[in-house]
Amino acid sequence: MLKIACKLLLALVLLAPTALFAHEARPLYLQIDELDSQQQGLYRYSLKLNVPPSIEADNRPYVMLPDSCQQQNLGPIAKVECSASLAGQTLSIDYPNFNPSITALVRVAFSSGETHQKLLSPGETQWQLPAPQSTSQVVGEYLELGIEHILAGWDHLLFLLCLLMISGTIKRTLVTVSGFTVAHSLTLVLTTLGLVRLPVAPVEAVIALSILFLAAEIARARRTSLAWRYPILVSSVFGLIHGFGFAAVLQEIGLPQTELATALLFFNVGVEIGQVAFVLTVMTTFWLLGKWSAFPLARLQQVIIYGAGSLAAFWTLERIAGF
């Protein structure tokens, strides 16, 4: 019995600090909802502040709003009226006595459907809410995001590279790449609008498998196979899957609800700009190397294909294992 008691006492001693610090790890949570659009020159909001139990009652934090706002009550969910929108304004979370150095999660939802959230570190007490973006800002931002995504997406670029090597002539290349473009644009739009949903992990695995399939077809060099005879069919079918991958990235980035169509359109345009730049670069490089008679272009392409296939096989296994 004495041994059992000692073990229980030791367990309590070890668990006690964990239990104490578990409360300290809880963040402060502030939820701000815009109740409706502007009425009679006023913007109405509700504020909900969840305070972790580790903060003493006499040190309960409060939210400092801009001078244009008036708080109507101090209950669990406060009602606020402002003469100007909170968009672009600065909020602060203050403490009566001292800052207990805990993180704070602030989430703001506007009546337009646009939402923003920010995790403030223990040393941060202020956050300037994002101002509404103009159409030109949305165009520039999402165009750049689209270009960056395609040029940083090695799996998409390797698939394009394989398409270029299996399509052969310039005419077949244009048709094949166009099929890929139309297909991934279709699923990108459908997924972003919420009309079609697929889990991300299997999509990423099939994207890797698409590269492995094309690399194997090119390495076998069986010109009578379906992939060699109809590369546009392969590019279109797998393009649908790649579109789901583009959509997953776009969902992580988020879309401004007030400029949804614009953001979606120019993200896709950015992807196409990056794609065209990559295709032109590869085709020009191969053409220049082909003009150099001493350069072993066929050997280089073989090395590229086997390298792409090996990398795609690794990605496929890795992504399947992550299910």
The overall pTM is greater than 0.85: no
pLDDT tens per residue across all 323 residues of the chain:
444 444 443 444 344 443 333 334 578 899 999 887 566 778 999 999 888 888 888 888 888 989 889 887 656 688 888 988 888 899 899 998 888 888 888 988 888 777 778 888 888 889 888 877 778 888 998 999 899 989 988 999 999 999 999 988 889 999 999 999 999 999 999 998 889 989 989 999 999 999 999 999 999 988 888 889 999 999 999 999 999 999 888 877 777 777 888 889 999 999 999 999 999 999 999 889 888 878 888 899 899 999 999 999 999 999 999 87
168: left (phi over 0), alpha (psi -120 to 50) or beta: left
* Structural domains of the chain, with CATH: 22-128 (2.60.40), 135-321 (no CATH)
Residues 297, 286 contacting (CB under 8 angstroms): yes
Cα separation values, 162 from 140, 214, 301, 319, Å = 31, 6, 10, 20
